[in-house]
Structure 1
């Protein structure tokens, strides 16, 4: 009799334990699927908080240049960041009035080594000269190679040597035609309490990013550079595919 009772108790406990395991597994499965469903929204929320809360001035200094003296601000979410966005503010710029602003993405090949494949270096020079004379700022965004990085940019260049254009090369490498964003530039304007701007650009994406941003677009300042013998097809692609506001040469 005692053996029977013991077996019955063991069987009952085992059954209850199995039910608990089944229920626990069911709960775990639900949690996993819920996380997978919400993962992209969690990531978007993380990016939102990173941009909206963490981007701040980490350092500043006055730097004399060939175009005049600029106050340079390093913007990042961490003071340990070795590649912060840099904001170059021409001396005498009045933030209470519409400010001349250039969103400029990093291009080491064009700006440092004077590559003829693009007009980025010349655009930066002209923009610095313009804001030095008329007041304004340059927001230098660390998104090299339309935000695919220098290594992938060189891979894209190698594909272009085989006859593919700038858009085809990026897509073949698995990247968007243009992976840049300008959310950080908008945040910089807000941190500096700039309410209205004249945007120095040919790029309609930069104009469109200001919609619903709280920043007033007062006007556009064209920044056209005459093509050379190497980059004409690149500039044609900018005009025809991306809709850049460029004249036909």
Structure 2
């Protein structure tokens, strides 16, 4: 049965609808029961979704992961980034703690899929991930998390523990009225192929990533 929740205290006036109750298959072979929420009234044209996992109903301090869409990493298993492993980790950890995974349609840090593929060409020529975006006359990271804050407030989840290594996500959520009680670090999913990518995130945008000295 569809459930409609109205929260007129939010500026975005979001209407949240629980559309379906579906099982999600994780890479570990576990079946996770999840509720997938779609939204009306968000401030952009993205079809963003929230996935409720574990004992999220009524959890006063849900564990939340904001995950930006990554076709190459999430679906194709690309080793250029750590998006796929982070998504799998988030599903497992949120299922244990109770909370939400917000899946935002922000491919390539907001530049889109085709631009991201163009940026890959420049990265292969020696530029880092942020320099490649800028060479294409795009922002190094154009993501705005206002939509994530609106989604959380519409779900009555304005006090959260945020699963992230990215300080910008914490800062923006707080600026948009979400009480981030704790930043919960994610694992460092390093391979010989994404090491430079992770080092760049740590050096350029101050991601809280401790890089091991060697990769076996």
TM-score by length of 1: 0.74
Aligned to 1:106: 69
Distance 2:35 2:163 in 1: 19
Answer yes or no: is the 8 Å Cα contact 1:76–1:84 preserved in 2. no
Q: How many pairs were matched up?
A: 196
Aligned to 1:207: 170
Aligned to 1:182: 145
Distance 2:24 2:165 in 1: 25
Distance 1:174 1:184 in 2: 24
For 1:164-213, what per-residue CA distance to the aligned partner results, in whole angstroms no more than 9, with x for missing partners?
A: 11111000001111011100000001111113100000000001012243
User: Which has a greater percent of helix?
Assistant: 1
Aligned to 1:65: 24
> What SS does the corresponding residue of 2:169 show, helix, strand or coil?
helix
> What SS does the corresponding residue of 1:177 show, helix, strand or coil?
coil
Displacement of 1:54 in angstroms is 6.1
Question: Which of 208, 212, 226 matches 2:189?
Answer: 226
User: Which has a greater percent of strand?
Assistant: 2
For structure 1, the 5+ residue unaligned runs are: 1-50
- Higher Rg: 1
Change (3 A) 1:173 1:52: farther
Displacement of 1:226 in angstroms is 2.9
Distance 1:54 1:190 in 2: 10
Displacement of 1:214 in angstroms is 2.7
> What SS does the corresponding residue of 1:210 show, helix, strand or coil?
helix
Answer yes or no: is the 8 Å Cα contact 2:188–2:210 preserved in 1. no
Answer yes or no: is the 8 Å Cα contact 1:128–1:138 preserved in 2. yes
Distance 1:143 1:76 in 2: 18
Aligned to 1:92: 55
CA RMSD between the two structures: 1.8
Aligned to 2:156: 193
> What SS does the corresponding residue of 1:62 show, helix, strand or coil?
strand
TM-score by length of 2: 0.85
Answer yes or no: is the 8 Å Cα contact 1:71–1:90 preserved in 2. yes
1:46-57 paired onto structure 2 within 5 Å: 52-53=11-12, 55-57=14-16
